Amino acid sequence: MVVVSGLSNRGLVSTNEGGGVHTRAHGGWLSGVLPKRTEGADIEAGKTIDQYAADTLGADTSLRSLELTTESNFTVGNCENGYSCTYQNSTSWRTATTPLPHERDPRVVFQRLFGDGGSVEARLAQMQTDRSILDSVTESIGRLERRLGLRDRTSVEEYLDAVREIERRIQRAEQSNATTPLPTVEQPSGVPDDYDEHVSLLFEMLVLAYQADVTRVSCTQMARELSGRTYPNIGVPEAHHSVSHHQLDPHNIEQYTKINTHQMSLFAGMVERMHN
């Protein structure tokens, strides 16, 4: 395992930029770029290091990268001092203006990785159907594009880029299945109420994705900045964020240490599954 450090940017947490330090720290965590203060659609940060890795490592897999979260993944509105909620809920950015949505539902993750069918054969059939739909959509948009102005054509091109990425994913999945069959595993039923079970299910999906070579790059958010999650199962009834501001209080430090240790133990469980 290679642990990369030195990605932080002290300017992100500087009070010289005014309020919103939590959002800036999160929005620029994997890029070191100061996010633009806006709560509108004109968001801007920086391409993140995982996406630079995906440029190379994701070229030969059906899924370029995989983004997961245990938190609600809404991206609309103002979450802190004039900063869009996108910054707190998007750890990975493909470009400076393209945050990648993080998925919290293990069932949706499974379907994205392996298809929606109940069997391997049904999932492959679904891929063929998806390909036919995409072919039809691409043809229709091509006709529409010729009648649009420059600005609208730019928007359509961005949409088509996303469609082409899906097409590439389907092609890779079909090619990969010729040598590496899709795993026969049961679909998760949805989002568990229990945090530990939720994390474990997401990590299980991630391990399956690596084993089947569906993707080689991933980013998992176990808790966002300003997280209000509590951990009564390990004796921490206080909110995660509040104890992180421990002010050197021994009790808060103890509680914060419990949370960090617990989360790392869950991560260690995933690493152990990968090792086995």
In the chain, the largest separation of any two C-alpha atoms, in whole Å, equals 66
Joined together, the tokens standing for residue 77 give 């509105």
pLDDT tens digits along 55-68: 999 988 888 999 99
Taking only the tens place, the pLDDT of each residue in 211-270 is 888 899 999 999 988 888 999 999 999 999 999 999 999 999 999 999 999 999 999 999
Domain regions of the chain by residue span: 1-112+184-227, 120-183, 229-265
The pTM of this model reads: 0.76
Q: Which two tokens stand for residue 125?
A: 């059939």
Is the CB of residue 75 less than 8 Å from the CB of residue 99? yes
Cβ contacts of residue 28 below 8 Å, gap of 6+?
9, 12, 34, 35, 45, 46
Instruction: Please write the tens of the pLDDT for every residue from 9-33.
Output: 777 777 777 888 889 988 888 998 9
Whether 88 contacts 170, CB under 8 Å:
no
Residues 192, 109: contact at Cβ < 8 Å?
Answer: no
